[in-house]
């Protein structure tokens, strides 16, 4: 079955760029008609959808982050990536990647990666 | 953005109890509503999609209902492994948004 795994630096300095990669195993990122999403969760808080990329490469971003976010895909490596620029302490969170399924018209996230903690601090 | 409001934010219950969690959308979302369970230190796990469809492998004690703006997740007989935080999520429009979560604790 499809599995996802996040990777990237766990510590980023303020004003710098957060870069994470999600590696997909057990299936091709290009097969099927899926969106691939990034979601984050500050410690002790709820979930925030960051954005997604379709297998065609088209993207949708959360307007609250749109000016700072780029999501891209590298099908040859079966990976998709997140870049978040000009980070502040408010961007400290566990970052998850997830596949977005279309179940009877309702887009839901399954499976998820295990998550990776990114701390923004000098 | 569509705001998702869950209630209660936390509850205490005993094994065997029937538990109901509600989720209200700030505008109609038809049946585009999903439920997740999250245990400490773990990623969320999909329980219910399209308001009332049980994800494969999820125990039948979990059920969902509702449409429009008001939705419910019910656990018919709470088990020890069900103590966790539950989130609703709307997929009617982007940005996709989640409720604030309901933490189910042991009484």
Per-residue tokens: B79: 């088990």
**What is the per-residue pLDDT across B24-38, written as a single tens digit (0 to 9) for each?**
999 999 999 999 999
Q: Report chain B residues touching chain A, CB-CB < 8 A.
A: 1, 31-34, 36, 42-46, 49-51, 53, 55, 87, 89, 91, 94-101
Give the residue-averaged pLDDT of A6-26: 97
Radius of gyration of chain B (CA): 13
CB-CB neighbors (< 8 A) of A47 in chain B: 44, 87, 89, 98, 101
List beta partners, residue A97. Answer: A38
For B35, how many CA atoms within 13 A lie in the half-sphere containing its CB?
30
Return the number of other C-beta atoms located less than 10 Å from residue B70's C-beta.
13
**What is the per-residue pLDDT across B33-68, written as a single tens digit (0 to 9) for each?**
999 999 999 999 999 999 999 999 999 999 999 999
Measured distance CA(A6)–CA(A98) in Å, rounded: 10
CA A70 and chain centroid, separation: 10
Distance from CA of A101 to the nearest CA of B (A): 10
Is B36:B47 a contact under the CB 8 Å cutoff? Answer: yes
**What is the per-residue pLDDT across A35-92, written as a single tens digit (0 to 9) for each?**
999 999 999 999 999 999 998 889 999 999 999 999 999 999 999 999 999 999 999 9
């Amino acid at each position: 079955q499809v599995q996802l795994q996040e990777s990237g630096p766990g510590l980023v300095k303020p004003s710098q760029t957060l870069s994470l990669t999600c590696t997909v195993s057990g299936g091709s990122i290009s097969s099927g008609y899926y969106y691939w999403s990034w979601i984050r969760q500050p410690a002790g808080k709820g979930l925030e959808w960051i954005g997604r990329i379709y297998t065609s490469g088209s993207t949708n971003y959360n307007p609250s982050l749109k000016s700072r976010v780029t999501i891209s895909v590298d099908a040859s490596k079966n990976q998709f990536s997140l870049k978040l620029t000009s980070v502040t302490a408010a961007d400290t969170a566990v970052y998850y990647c997830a596949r977005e399924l279309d179940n009877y018209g309702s887009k839901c996230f399954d499976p998820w990666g295990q998550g990776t903690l990114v701390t923004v601090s000098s | 953005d569509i705001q998702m409001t869950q209630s209660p934010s936390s509850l205490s219950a005993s094994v065997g109890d029937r538990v109901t969690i509600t989720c209200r959308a700030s505008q109609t979302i038809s049946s585009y509503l999903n439920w997740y369970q999250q245990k400490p230190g773990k990623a969320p796990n999909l329980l219910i999609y399209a308001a009332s469809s049980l994800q494969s492998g999820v125990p039948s004690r979990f059920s969902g209902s509702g449409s429009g703006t008001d939705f419910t997740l019910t656990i018919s007989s709470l088990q020890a492994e069900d103590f966790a935080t539950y989130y609703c999520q709307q997929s009617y429009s982007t940005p996709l948004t989640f409720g604030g979560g309901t933490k189910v604790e042991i009484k």
